[in-house]
Every structure is written in structure tokens, then in C-alpha cells.
Structure 1
Amino acid sequence: MFELSQTFYFEAAHTLERRLETESSRRIHGHTYGAEVQVSGVPDRNGMVVDLAVLRGAIAAVRDALDHHFLDDVAGLGPATLENLCLYIHRQVSAQVPGVSAVSVYRSASGDRCTYRPQ
């Protein structure tokens, strides 16, 4: 079994309704996000788990949907949590690339990271 991965970055703003102790917060703010898509499998007769051009194309479409966008307006995303971003990226890439085994989304500046591994 082999695992290939491709990383990408995007910049985006969003709001997030949450309660911090006694007051409610829903400020518009933004982040630089990093993401990694991993594909697992056995190489085909050409020696590839997945053609990297196909994986990069699927990722480019997702990046275009997220980069420099207001995440609250991205259809199918829901609240812009790290968890929902993982699920969204997984759904979008998996529709074009078989074998997506994990998606991670992280914010290096704050040290936050989330990884989704479908069962």
C-alpha cells in the first residue's frame, strides 16, 4: 500500500458564531489555511496510485472555490470550522479521485490542525 499527498494553501475570511465565557462572538476574520490531501492505494499497471495531474486538478478546483472567498457563502461548507473544511475538501476531491484516505486542514500561525480519515 502506498500513500501520496499533495498540499495547498488558501486565504479566506469567515464568521463563526460561538460563546466565549459570557459574551457571544460573531466577528468577521480571516486565516491563511494549509491543507493536505492523501490518497492511498496500490499502484496500477503504470506504477501510479493516482495520476498526480488528476489529483492536482481536483485540488485546484477546491482551492478556487475557497481561496479569497467569504467561507460563509461557500455552498455545502456549513460553519467554517476546521472539521467542516476537512469534510468539504474530502467530498470535492473524492468525487474526482478514488482512494482519498485523509484530509488535513491547518493554520500554521496558530498551531491548529484537524485531520479527517473516512472509515
Structure 2
Amino acid sequence: MLYTVSQRFFFDAAHTLKRDIEAEGSRRVHGHTYHAEVWLKGERNPATGMVIDLGVLRRRLDEVREKLDHHLLDDVPGLKPPTLENLCLFIAEALADLKPGLARVRVWREALGDACTLELDS
């Protein structure tokens, strides 16, 4: 049997973005509260009863959050430009070595209703 477990976190960050629509506001430094959720899919370990120890997953998510929270996303190494799509990819790449592997990463801005989901083959 395959199980899917997930964990959420949030971070506050600022960024700029060059785009054709809503250009003036996007090019100024502005911030958002971002929410993220990761899903891991795998078999339950019969010895532990878990797919992954959620404490281990939370520790790894704290490491990712530390790279993003209260930072100017434009300056985060490996994240250019700071779009929702690139944030999904950034998080997925930071957690690529987790076992079991990631199945999905979602990043959203609740206040704006914007979201992006990255579906992964694990």
C-alpha cells in the first residue's frame, strides 16, 4: 500500500518581478505571506509504522524556510525570478534527497488566491 503524508509551512518574503501587466507595482519591492505544502508518497515502514518521521520532515522544512523567510527573494541563490513556479521548484530541489520521494509541492498566497502545484514522479 502507498501512503501520502504532507506537511505545511509558511514564510514572509519580499520580491520584485518584471512583467507586462501590473508592471509598476510588481517592479517595486513588495512582500507576501507565502504558504507551502509538500507531499511524500511511499510505503509504511512496518518497524516504525511511518512513511517518514514527521519530525525529520519538519526539520528539513525548517531548513528550507530559513532560506526564504524574511529575505528578498530576488537575492536567494538558485531562485530567479521569484515566481510561484520557481518557488515550487526551489523547494522540490532542496528536498530532492528525501526518502520516500516528494510527490507534490504546492506554494500559494492566501491573500491573493494565487497558487502553483508541482507534480513530481517519485
- Normalising by structure 1, we get a TM-score of 0.92
Looking at structure 2, the residues matched to 16 and 106 of structure 1 have their Cα atoms a distance apart, in angstroms, of 16
- Runs of 4 or more off by more than 3 Å in structure 1? none
Q: Answer yes or no: is the 8 Å Cα contact 2:15–2:74 preserved in 1.
A: yes
Normalized against structure 2, the TM-score is what?
0.90
In structure 1, C-alpha distance between the alignment counterparts of 2:100 and 2:43, rounded to whole Å: 12
Gap runs ≥5 in structure 1: none
Aligned residues: 118
Provide the alpha-carbon RMSD of the alignment: 1.5
8 Å Cα contact 2:8/2:36 also seen in 1: yes
The Cα of 1:97 is off from its aligned counterpart by 4.3
- Which of 64, 70, 77 aligns to 2:72? It is 70
Counterparts of 1:82-101 in structure 2, within 5 Å, are 82-101=84-103
Residues 49-94 of structure 1, C-alpha deviation per residue, up to 9 Å, x if partnerless? 1111111111000000000000001001111100000000011022
Percent sequence identity is 53
Find the aligned partners of 2:19 and 2:10 in 1 and give their Cα distance: 25
